[in-house]
Amino acid sequence: MPFTGPLEDRLAIRELYGTYADASWRGDRELWLSTFAADGRWSSHLFDATGHDALAATWDGLWKDWASVAFLGEIGAMAIDGDMAPPAPTPGRWYRPKRAQCSSFAAITPMRSQSWAANGSSRTAPTQ
């Protein structure tokens, strides 16, 4: 899947990933939640949460044992339907599904043990 669609939307989506990463690095739960649509879904091999209540509960569960997080995402592809572009692109405020693939790196320091790192996971952009 290549990068397709209006440049302005692609920049806005890059910035959404940046905001998501920034919120993760700084442990900013509210900012992180705001990057998901109301019915946004976050799934991995460890959990599958849909909607802000479930997302927040998953965040709380993870951060119970985390002292700090480093998160980087490299966006590998974006496909945007030009007819569905929002009037004012704002991170976390999309009006139609847009698909993107992002490879991420995360280094996490647990509260009471050695740091560890996980590489190569991927996720689908939160959509609305």
Residues that bind other proteins (CB under 8 A): 8, 11, 14-15, 17-19, 21-22, 25-26, 31, 68, 70-74, 90-91, 105, 107, 109, 115, 117
Name beta bridge partners: 124.
101
Q: How far is the CB of 22 from other proteins (least distance, A)?
A: 3
- List alpha helices for 1-128, DSSP H: 7-26, 29-34, 52-63
Q: How far is the CB of 113 from other proteins (least distance, A)?
A: 13
Q: In what helix (H) or strand (E) does residue 103 lie, and over which residues does it extend?
A: strand 99-110
Q: Which residues contact 61 (CB under 8 A, 6 or more apart)?
A: 47
Residue closer to other proteins by CB (options 40, 73) is 73
Running DSSP on this structure, what letter comes out for residue 78?
Answer: E
Q: How far is the CB of 79 from other proteins (least distance, A)?
A: 20
Residue closer to other proteins by CB (options 54, 70) is 70
- Strand, helix or coil for residue 90: coil
Residue closer to other proteins by CB (options 32, 42) is 32
Residue closer to other proteins by CB (options 54, 123) is 123
Q: How far is the CB of 91 from other proteins (least distance, A)?
A: 7
Q: How many CB atoms lie within 10 A of CB 83?
A: 6
